[in-house]
């Protein structure tokens, strides 16, 4: 049990920043979930990107809530789909460059799913999507971008931070900025008020 009314089951600095900026009291507990294995199994079984994002968020929320009884646990996951391909986070500069080349000149979908759980059971869930089109940037721009942004962008499935230099990658963006950053924040805040974790 924690002193705060909410546990964030995520190691994402972007999600922490959004909740802190919104004035939400919380503590962080990293979930012990093999996300990449789960993603591979789900995608391999034919699950679409939305199902994958929701299942990963639920697995993380339940894993932490089982260890911290009587406490609300918020978990989230983000999946990037371009065409029929579901992307994973890049591990190094080579993989980051390959991801950005694959997305260059194309539209992709970002799905951000959030689940709130207590005592090992999900209480609430929400998924939102955003669509982003990367411009056909030059190889020179790509290298300059990677030099400036690594290693921070390795924590993002699309290898960009839309709130920073990553905005230069795009020609069109359709969707909520919070969703793009990895959390459907406004619905989450509403749910936290409903569950008494925030003042109404």
Q: Which amino acids are annotated catalytic?
A: 77
Distance separating alpha carbons of residues 191 and 128, to the nearest angstrom: 15
**76: its two tokens:** 């989230």
How far is the C-alpha of 10 from the C-alpha of 29, rounded, in Å? Answer: 7
Answer whether 158's CB lies under 8 Å from 103's CB: yes
Question: What distance in Å separates the CA atoms of residue 146 and residue 152, rounded to the nearest whole number?
Answer: 10
Rounded CA-CA distance 46/165 in Å is 34
SS3 137: coil
Q: Is 46 exposed, middle or buried, given 0-12, 13-18 or 19+ CB atoms closer than 10 A? A: exposed
Q: Which residues contact 16 (CB under 8 A, 6 or more apart)?
A: 8, 10, 28
Give the gyration radius of the chain's Cα atoms.
17
């Amino acid at each position: 049990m924690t002193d705060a009314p909410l546990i964030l089951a995520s190691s994402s600095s972007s999600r922490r920043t959004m909740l802190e900026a919104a004035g939400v009291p919380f503590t962080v507990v990293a979930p012990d979930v093999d996300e990449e294995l789960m993603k591979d199994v789900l995608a391999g079984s034919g699950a679409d990107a939305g199902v994958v994002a929701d299942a990963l968020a639920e697995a993380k929320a339940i894993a932490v809530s089982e260890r911290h009884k009587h406490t609300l646990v918020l978990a989230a996951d983000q999946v990037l789909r371009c065409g029929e391909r579901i992307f994973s986070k890049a591990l190094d500069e080579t993989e980051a460059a390959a991801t950005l080349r694959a997305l260059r000149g194309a539209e992709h979908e970002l799905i951000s799913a959030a689940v709130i759980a207590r005592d090992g059971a999900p209480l609430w869930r929400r998924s939102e999507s955003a669509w982003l089109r990367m411009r056909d940037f030059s190889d020179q721009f790509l290298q300059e971008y990677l030099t400036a942004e690594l290693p921070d962008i390795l924590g993002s499935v699309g290898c960009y931070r839309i709130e920073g230099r990553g905005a230069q990658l795009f020609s069109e963006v359709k969707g909520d900025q919070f969703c793009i950053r990895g959390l459907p924040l406004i619905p989450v805040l509403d749910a936290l008020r409903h569950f008494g974790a925030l003042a109404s």
